[in-house]
């Protein structure tokens, strides 16, 4: 798990679309999806539910994203 993957999760939570999230993150869609899957596997929680038409945030994912946002905010504060 790395800070960039956490940022990708937040971007996907904002966009709820892999293509737009990947474009916003300046990486390919397959690479973006792989990073999200790796993050979910690493923490053992499915953050996003996916169908062929939509992406939603799971109940557990909502709690995880709150913590991810806190971590990213704290790291950005340290950099300042």
Domains in the chain and their CATH numbers? 3-79 (1.10.10.10)
Q: Left if phi > 0, otherwise alpha if psi is -120 to 50, otherwise beta: which for 33?
A: alpha
| pTM tops 0.75 | yes
How much is the average pLDDT of 3-27?
97
How much is the average pLDDT of 5-30?
97
CB 1 within 8 A of CB 42: yes
Which pairs with CB-CB distance under 8 Å and at least 24 residues apart come from 26-33? 32/8
Over residues 41-54, the pLDDT tens digits come to 999 999 999 988 89
Over residues 32-79, the pLDDT tens digits come to 999 999 999 999 999 999 988 899 999 999 999 999 999 999 999 999
Give the pLDDT confidence score for residue 80 in this predicted structure. Answer: 87
């Amino acid at each position: 798990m790395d800070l960039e993957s956490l940022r990708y999760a937040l971007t996907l939570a904002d966009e709820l679309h892999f293509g737009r999230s990947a474009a916003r993150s300046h990486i390919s869609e397959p690479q973006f999806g792989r990073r999200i899957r790796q993050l979910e596997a690493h923490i053992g929680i499915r953050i996003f539910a996916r169908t062929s038409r939509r992406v939603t945030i799971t109940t557990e994912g909502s709690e995880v994203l709150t913590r991810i946002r806190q971590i990213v905010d704290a790291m950005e504060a340290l950099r300042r």
